[in-house]
């Protein structure tokens, strides 16, 4: 079992989501460290890594929100990106060394014509410079050690892909809406190859992660002010922000107490273990395996799984 990180001195019980607009030049891990130092939450994590050369939406889960990170990471993502044609690079972005060149520059009409091939569930090979684990080592660590790994093809989902502009013959700007696990660097590389040339991502910005968008985001320059202001935590979004698609189930006080103890609660019919006014036959609405938000009034008690007329706590939140 891994050791739990010791809370920083003066740690505060902050629970919710902070959406950071990550600048270029720092890793997602470094961004987490900066937020931790400024706000001193008991726990912190991020939902969806951004490369150092990428900017944009990096949702930060504080406190009990860390128990819901998987729901944010599973959310649909939107990226704006620019492909630079004529060079292939080791990292599939501007940080790597050049491995191949091409004099071919695709016509705008040819770019638009090929985009439908990249929409839907498509095969994709991740970059060798990625955080994917292979035999216990990160792919990027192997690549940096001069042992570039053989990356397995996987299926990813592209919901939408549009050409936004063509600034010059060397570059094309796009926006993509995609599912979990999609590598935009691979997408840019594959687009170029399908157009008979080579290319890499020269700019990348994430504009949405699930329910989080740019209007929610704050910059690193605001962190110190957040850490010292009496109104510091207005940008903090509720834990439930990432749970909008999960059905809510109202509990009585006694039922909530049972769930907090890790015990199951009957919800089938009106004769549950702790009857409550207005209790309905949830079997008409839920199927076995469905996850629900177990609520005590307006307070989220737990994420629980419905099985055979009962809900069983999966993640209990200490709020």
46 in any annotated domain: yes
CA distance 214 to 212: 7
Same domain, 200 and 179: yes
Residue 51 bears catalytic tag = yes
pLDDT computed for residue 135 by the predictor: 65
Same domain, 170 and 267: no
Among 164, 187, 209, residue at a domain's last position: 209
Same domain, 237 and 281: no
Residue with tokens 């990106």: 81
6 in any annotated domain: no
CA distance 37 to 11: 10
Per the structure block, which two tokens stand in for 296?
């005590």
CA distance 120 to 106: 23
pLDDT computed for residue 145 by the predictor: 64
Same domain, 150 and 198: yes
106 in any annotated domain: yes
Residue 184 sits in a domain whose CATH number is: 3.30.2350.10
CA distance 43 to 7: 7
4 in any annotated domain: no
Same domain, 138 and 192: yes
8 in any annotated domain: no
235-257 per-position pLDDT tens digit? 789 898 898 888 888 888 888 99
Same domain, 184 and 130: yes
Same domain, 71 and 82: no
186 in any annotated domain: yes
DSSP single-letter state for residue 12: B
Domain limits for position 184: 77-209
Same domain, 65 and 99: no
pTM: 0.86
CA distance 264 to 313: 7
How many structural domains does the chain have?
A: 3
Same domain, 86 and 235: no
pLDDT computed for residue 76 by the predictor: 93
Same domain, 150 and 91: yes
Question: In 10 A of CB 286, how many CB atoms?
Answer: 20
Strand partners, 295: 250, 300
pLDDT means over runs of 10, the chain (319 residues): 59 87 92 89 89 93 91 92 96 91 98 97 82 65 67 90 97 96 94 97 96 91 67 75 87 89 76 39 66 89 89 89
10 in any annotated domain: no
Same domain, 205 and 219: no
Catalytic-role residue among 51, 92, 190, 296: 51
Residue 253 sits in a domain whose CATH number is: 2.30.130.10
CA-based nearest residue to 156, from 126, 132, 135: 126
Contacts of 147 (CB under 8 A, 6+ apart): none
1 in any annotated domain: no
Residue 241 and residue 18 in contact, taking contact as beta carbons nearer than 8 Å: no
6-18 per-position pLDDT tens digit? 666 777 788 999 9
pLDDT computed for residue 280 by the predictor: 42
Same domain, 254 and 305: yes
């Amino acid at each position: 079992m891994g050791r739990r990180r010791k809370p920083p001195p003066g740690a505060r019980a902050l629970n919710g989501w902070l959406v950071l607009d990550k600048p270029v030049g720092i890793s997602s891990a470094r961004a987490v460290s900066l937020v931790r130092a400024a706000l001193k939450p008991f726990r912190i994590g991020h939902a969806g890594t951004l490369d150092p050369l990428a900017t944009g939406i990096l949702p930060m889960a504080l406190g009990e929100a860390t128990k819901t990170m998987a729901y944010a990471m599973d959310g649909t993502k939107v990226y704006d990106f620019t492909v630079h044609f004529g060079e292939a690079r080791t990292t599939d972005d501007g940080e790597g060394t050049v491995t191949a060149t091409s004099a071919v520059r695709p016509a705008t009409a040819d770019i638009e014509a090929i985009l439908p091939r990249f929409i839907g569930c498509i095969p994709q090979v991740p970059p060798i410079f990625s955080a994917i684990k292979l035999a216990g080592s990160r792919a990027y660590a192997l690549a940096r050690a001069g042992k570039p790994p053989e990356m397995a093809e996987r299926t990813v989902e592209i919901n939408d892909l549009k050409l936004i502009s063509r600034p010059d013959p060397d570059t094309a700007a796009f926006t993509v809406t995609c599912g979990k696990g999609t590598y935009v660097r691979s997408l840019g590389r594959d687009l170029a190859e399908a157009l008979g040339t080579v290319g890499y991502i020269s700019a990348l910005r994430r504009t949405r992660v699930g329910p989080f968008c740019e209007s929610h985001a704050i910059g690193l320059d605001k962190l110190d002010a957040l850490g010292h202001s009496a109104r510091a935590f207005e940008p903090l979004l509720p834990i439930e922000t990432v749970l909008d698609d999960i059905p809510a189930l109202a509990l009585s006080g006694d039922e909530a107490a049972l769930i907090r103890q890790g015990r199951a609660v009957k919800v089938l019919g009106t004769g549950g273990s702790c009857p409550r006014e207005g209790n309905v036959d949830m079997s008409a609405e839920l199927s076995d395996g469905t996850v629900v938000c177990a609520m005590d009034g307006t307070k989220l008690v737990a994420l629980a799984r419905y099985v055979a007329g009962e809900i069983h706590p999966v993640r209990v939140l200490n709020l």
